[in-house]
Every structure is written in C-alpha cells, then in structure tokens.
Structure 1
Amino acid sequence: MTEALFIADAYLREAAGRVMGHTAEGGIVLDASIFYATSGGQPGDAGRLDWDGGGIDIATTVKGQGGDIVLVPAEPSRLPEIGTRVTQSLVWDRRHRLMRVHTALHLLSVVIPLPVTGGQIAVDKGRLDFDMEHAPDDKDGLEVQLNALIARDLPVTADWITQGALDARPELIKTMSVKPPRGQSHIRLVRIGEGAEFVDLQPCGGTHVGWTSEIGRVRIGKIEKKGRQNRRVYLHLEDA
C-alpha cells in the first residue's frame, strides 16, 4: 500500500521514493507518493520521476490494487527497477489549479446548500450537479456570495472521524453519488473556517489550498438541466 504523502501536505512538489512494483500495463508503484490518483472527480497528477541514470515523464496517476497509487508513464519507456530510489516531482501549476478549483467547489456547495449528485474538476473550471428542481433565480447573487467567502481568507484544514461517528452524522455527507469509503477506521474531513468563521465540513480525500484566498476570483458559468430534478452548475477560475 502506497503512503499518500499529499494527504499530510498537499504542497509537496518534490519528494524521494522507492519503486515497489510495476503493473501489467506499465505503471509504476512507489512506497510513498506525492501524486494524487484519479478519484472523486479530481484528475490524477502529472509530473516526472528521475533516478540515477534515467528518468520518465508521468502523464497521470490512478488507483491500483490494495491501496496502491500507480504512476502512468507518458509513453512506453524503460521503467526503473524495483528497489530503485527515485525523485518524484509534480507539474505544480496544474496541481495547484486543481486544488483551487476543488476548494472552490466545496464553497459552491455552501452557497447552494442542496444535495450534490455529481461533480468534476479540471485545471480551469469545475462543476457540481445538485438535486435541484429549478435553476437559481439569482445566479449573480450566488457568485457574489461565493467570492465573498473566498475573500474572507478562511483556513482549510483536515480532521479525522471514525466510521461510526460519521454514520451518526449523515448531514456531513453532501454527495449522493459518491460515498466515503467504508471499511476504514478513520475518514478524512475537510474543514473550511474555524470557530465563528466556520463554514463547511465534509468527507474528502482530495487536495486543497490552505487558505481560501488562494482560489482567487471565480465566475459561475452556465447552469444546465440534467434530468427532472438535477441542475449542473459550472464554476470557472477568473484567471484561466
């Protein structure tokens, strides 16, 4: 099982690692990874591995068996042998944009306090699907509320909760389509704000910025009807 270094520190851009295995498809498994694997609507990270005598570009990252994180090379190439010590580095600007969008989507679920039926994250935009019969009357007002939350420069931190405690607080789970993994002793919660400034707490294994001001200004884009009681709301980074 790969140690997910990004859980403790989403700002790690470079770290050492050791090759623990290869997949049949040509992927690389490390003992510890700064690369986030595709899940929860967030794309896997891209970057590079370097070692004594070689190197390889990583196109994306996916989940493997038994908790492994699999780095997928950009093209077929000689893989580092098992046991090789490597230096792993991220395409940081891409990762940081994904972090900004992901945190902004958590705040979108605050200004639209309805059950979430789906979501997707990209480097310049994201979207959430809501269990919403009618489109919002005041999209511009929602955008003003969202940017006001971002400008408050709220801290984004992580807590942990047991599965039993989470079962006793079902209101924390906003997503109807993606449930927190069961069978784990503890589930990670992402908190935005503290004390009187608290605004959100929900289960999430993704990467986030440390302060909401890092998101920058955002724009709420089109709102699409997706089924009888489903509305898809798009969010865009203003500097994209």
Structure 2
Amino acid sequence: MATGLLYREDAYAREATARVVAAGPEGLVLDRTNFYARAGGQPGDAGVLRWVGGECAITEAVKGPEDTVLHLPAPGVALPAPGTEVTTVLDWDRRHRFMRLHTTMHLLCSLIPGAGVTGGQIAVEKARLDFDLPEPPTKEALTEALNALVAANHAVSETWITEAELDANPSLVRTLSVQPPRGSGRIRLVRIGDTAAPVDLQPCGGTHVRSTGEIGRVEVSKIENKGKANRRVTLVLAGE
C-alpha cells in the first residue's frame, strides 16, 4: 500500500497522526506521513514518532518499495508494533530551512534562463545548483537580484498538468540530470509569482515556502568552475 503524502497537501503540517503498517530496523512504513522522503537533491525529513507508551527518533525519511516512505529509526530504539497509531513530529527548523533554500533555488533558476541544470543538492547550511553555463553572472549580481525577488514577496503555489501537456512544453524541465517522475499521469508544477507571468514555473516534487518573503536574506557564497561549461552556484541563508 502506497504511503499517503500529507506534505503534498500542506507542507506546514508539523505533526500528523498515522498508523504503522510495518516496522523493522530497515525502517517504518506508515499509512500516511508528513515526512518528505529524500529525492531530487532535497534530504529526507527527520523527527520523532510518538505513541502511547513510547517514542522513537527518526534520522531521515527515504523512498521505500511500491511508493512507500521508509522512516529510518535511530539505532537501538524501540519500535511501535504494526497497527499502532502514532503521531509524526517533524524536526521543523530543519525542514523549514530546506523549504527556504529549495524555493531560493527556483529563484536562482529564473535568473539564469536558458541554462540547463546539471545537478543540485540541499543541505542544512547551504544549497547548490550546477548550470550548463560557460560564463555565469557574478555572485554579487546574483545575490542582489535574488534578494530583490525575495523582498517582492512573490506567492508560491502549485498546479498539476498531464504528462502529455509536459511533453508539449519540454522547456518547463530545467534539470538535465533528473526528470520529473512519471507513471501517475500527472506532473506537479511549482509556480512563483502570478499565473499570467510567473517568475519561475517548473516541475518539482519538493517542499517550498508560501511566499518568497519568508526566505529572508540570501547570499551567493561562491561560484565554482566544475568543467568546461559547468558552473556550481552555492547559496546560503545570510546571517544564519
């Protein structure tokens, strides 16, 4: 049975109730979860599962078989039995940083139009995108432009299109190394800005803030040469 993904409906759900489907040292499967499973360069969520008479720390959520989410327990902790009702509690500070950084990565894409994204990764302290780009803008120029978009407080929303609609608009896909997941018939698009003239619009399964003003000040800390036409741009949340 596939795990219901509560963060798709509400990325701000810090706690939720769920029922244990399976439990073992390889991970716990729940019928539903607010934990994001590691994918697309975004780490999986960490936190705690609580139930009557116990709790266990979760170090990360990852993808399991048959569209399930595996909640990886800390070594040596007691596990709830299948059928147990649990409360899933996110490490919210960690998740919220990922949401802010991930949304900033979308803004960065909007500032480098036409360049394919060859890789990306989010960590607690920073995020980076690799662009197929011989001559990038300066880090000072990108920092200024990013903070202007943050300050404009653009709304962040989502919409869904069919796989056929994506095939008819291949330019929506910026990532060269990772393609949107297929098979369900629907593709999730994340939009920043107005529907008529979005700042950025591209397929994405990750979690994001509701508006760019929530990100706070950001900084492009460095731009590195990683190949003939591959430039790595590293982002940090300024002052944190």
Normalised by the length of structure 2, the TM-score is 0.96
Q: What code does the residue aligned with 2:7 have?
A: F
Contact 1:173 1:203 in 2 (8 A): yes
Distance in 2, matches of 1:233 and 1:174, equals 15
Q: What code does the residue aligned with 2:55 have?
A: G
Distance in 2, matches of 1:217 and 1:169, equals 33
Say which SS state the counterpart of residue 199 (structure 1) adopts.
strand
Per the TM alignment, residue 197 of structure 1 is displaced from its structure 2 partner at its CA by: 5.5
Distance in 1, matches of 2:179 and 2:100, equals 22
Distance in 2, matches of 1:74 and 1:112, equals 40
Q: What code does the residue aligned with 2:171 have?
A: E
1:135-181 deviations in whole A, cap 9, x for unaligned? 43x33122111110111101101100111110110010000000001
Per the TM alignment, residue 78 of structure 1 is displaced from its structure 2 partner at its CA by: 2.2
Contact 2:139 2:222 in 1 (8 A): no
Say which SS state the counterpart of residue 205 (structure 2) adopts.
coil
- Structure 2 counterpart of 1:16: 17
- Structure 1 counterpart of 2:6: 5
Contact 1:45 1:90 in 2 (8 A): yes
Contact 1:121 1:127 in 2 (8 A): yes
Q: What code does the residue aligned with 1:132 have?
A: L
Distance in 1, matches of 2:197 and 2:239, equals 27
Normalised by the length of structure 1, the TM-score is 0.96
Q: Which runs of 5+ in 2 are unaligned?
A: none
Identity of aligned residues (%): 55
Distance in 2, matches of 1:26 and 1:65, equals 12
- Structure 2 counterpart of 1:166: 166
- Structure 2 counterpart of 1:105: 105
Q: Which runs of 5+ in 1 are unaligned?
A: none
- Structure 2 counterpart of 1:64: 64
Distance in 2, matches of 1:83 and 1:239, equals 45
Per the TM alignment, residue 71 of structure 1 is displaced from its structure 2 partner at its CA by: 0.4
Contact 2:160 2:189 in 1 (8 A): yes
Q: Which runs of 4+ in 1 moved over 4 A?
A: none
Say which SS state the counterpart of residue 175 (structure 1) adopts.
coil
Distance in 2, matches of 1:122 and 1:227, equals 23
